[in-house]
Amino acid sequence: MARISVARIDKQYTSPSGGVTPVLRDLSLDVADGEFLTLLGPSGCGKSTLIRIIAGLERAESGSIAIDGVCVDSVRPSERNVAMVFQSYALYPHLTVAANLALPLRMRRLTSTQRLPWLGRCLPSTRLAEQAIKAEVHEIARMLGLSALLERKPGQLSGGQRQRVALARAMVRHPVAFLMDEPLSNLDAHLRAQMRTELTELHRRLGVTFVYVTHDQAEAMSMSSRIAVMLEGRIHQVGTPREVYEDPETLAVASFLGEPRINVLNGSVRSDGSLQVLDFVLPAQVACAPGSEVSVAIRPEALSVAATGLGATVQRVEYLGSGALLHAQLRDGAPICVRVDAGVALRAGERVRLAPAGAVLVFDADGRRVREPAIQSARRMCS
């Protein structure tokens, strides 16, 4: 296992015309020993660049990387004892599964003489080393359910099987940490769900540090010990899946997490500390000066159709099987989404009232969370 410390990393790319594009900005992150940490963010936020810098495949303009307290900035990727699992599997198509798994072990344990096609095979030391390598390959294959596939080539495998081979090839090295760059993005929805379960179980069994990159919120929420939310080259928040979803530090994090997206409404603070949102007053005590403009964020599952609340016009009801999404439009034309029961009997054009039935989050003009004094509970607000 290994602790990974990222300290004040800056990274930029220079175009052929001389233009400079910042990718990572003064980024710091600590990954605990043996945890499953996911870098979650949209495409282009710098998460893949960061994991490649940790692996040593790219260099930063400034900052440093430490593994178990040892600075590895000048250490070659092959000597950092971390395993990288790529989106593209990176398997050798002309080699069998067994040969793909054995290759990193042969490169590490056999000398250049021992690897010679004819002479090396005649050496007693080579035969002993090859037997040990073969035993390890079979043990890893057994752990990942690949024993029956060892004589096949990658082209004869399904996407899920190839991904397990890529994981097995990383495991045979016994690394102190696994670095995974969107390894499931090429799989269909059913296989992704299956591989999420397998990866979570693999992490539990190995107890090794995992750093995982994805833009898929379901992957991050279901597998991670902690999530680092990355936006525009910066880490906005690090916490457990529950913390970053239910207790976001910024409006940017609240808006990024959740499907469908959180409803963000314009509000203002009244003289008594309550919130005015269009034609509805939320009886809250907000730590902002009267007259301050704020953003009021409410997730679709934290709203309900009620006798009093925000006036809205139904646009459509989206049936999802176990439930439904009510899409409506507020008086000012802003869209709003509510998660309702599947049997809701509402049609386009109907007028409804929507009231909070769960957490209401408030953010100031700079997008920072307004926490104290806390907003009263939703049940009390609507009573």
Domain boundaries, the chain: 4-246, 261-381
What is the model's pLDDT at position 47?
95
Neighbours of 261 (CB within 10 A): 15
Largest interatomic CA distance in the chain: 89
pLDDT at 375: 44
Which conformational region is residue 245 in: left (phi greater than 0), alpha (psi within -120 to 50 degrees), or beta?
alpha
pLDDT at 376: 42
Please count the CA atoms within 13 angstroms of the CA of 201 that sit on its side-chain side. 8
Q: Note the pLDDT of residue 7.
A: 97
| Torsions phi, psi for 237 (to 5 deg) | -160, 145
Which neighbouring-strand residues pair with 330?
Answer: 312
DSSP string, 208-242: -EEEEEES-HHHHHHH-SEEEEEETTEEEEEE-HH
Report the DSSP beta bridge partners of residue 264: 297
Distance from chain centroid for Cα 263: 22
Beta bridge partners of 361: 297
Q: Per the structure block, which two tokens stand in for 76?
A: 């070659």
- Topology agreement, domain 4-246 and domain 261-381: no
Residues 255-273: tens digit of each pLDDT: 999 999 999 999 998 888 7
Provide the token pair at 313.
């016009």
What is the three-class DSSP state of 151?
Answer: coil
pLDDT digits (tens, 9 = 90+) for 76-92: 998 999 999 888 878 89
Q: Which of 207, 251, 215 is nearest to 42 (CA)?
A: 215
85: which residues sit within 8 A by CB, 6+ positions away?
Answer: 166, 167, 170, 178, 179, 180, 181, 183
Give the CATH H-level superfamily of domain 4-246. P-loop containing nucleotide triphosphate hydrolases (3.40.50.300)
- pLDDT at position 359 is 87
Pairing assessment for the beta strands 234-239 and 226-231 based on DSSP bridges: antiparallel
**Of 3.40.50.720, 3.30.70.260, 3.40.718.10, 2.40.50.140, which CATH number belongs to 261-381?**
2.40.50.140
Q: CA-CA distance, 358 to 262, in Å (whole number)?
A: 13
The parts of the chain modelled with pLDDT lower than 50 are 374-383
Q: What strands, in cross-sheet order, belong to the sheet with 70-71?
A: 20-31, 4-14, 62-67, 70-71
State the DSSP code for 376.
P
244 by DSSP, 3-state: which? helix
Pick the closest to residue 200 from 213, 188, 215, 210 (CA basis). Answer: 210
pLDDT of residue 118: 65
Helix (H), strand (E) at residue 119: helix 119-122
